[in-house]
Amino acid sequence: MDIAALSMAMSQVAVRQQASTQVLSISMDQAKQQGEQMAKMLETSASPHLGGSIDLRA
């Protein structure tokens, strides 16, 4: 394998790694945003007084 072909192969690997890292970063950002939205939704539930206590009979 000559130097030019080796250089091109290494460049392609680097581009693939950068693209993979970018996709992972986008995925992590979306997961974080969805988690924040879920937490906000739970904080502002329609009936926040429900579920705070349990009625028991002995």
pLDDT tens by residue, 1-58: 689 999 999 999 999 999 999 999 999 999 999 999 998 887 887 676 776 777 788 6
* DSSP-based three-state secondary structure for 9: helix
For residues 29 and 35, give the distance between their C-alpha atoms in angstroms, rounded to a whole number: 10
Helices (H), ranges, 1-58: 3-43
Radius of gyration of the chain (CA): 25
The answer for residues whose C-beta is within 8 angstroms of residue 1's C-beta and 6 or more apart is 9
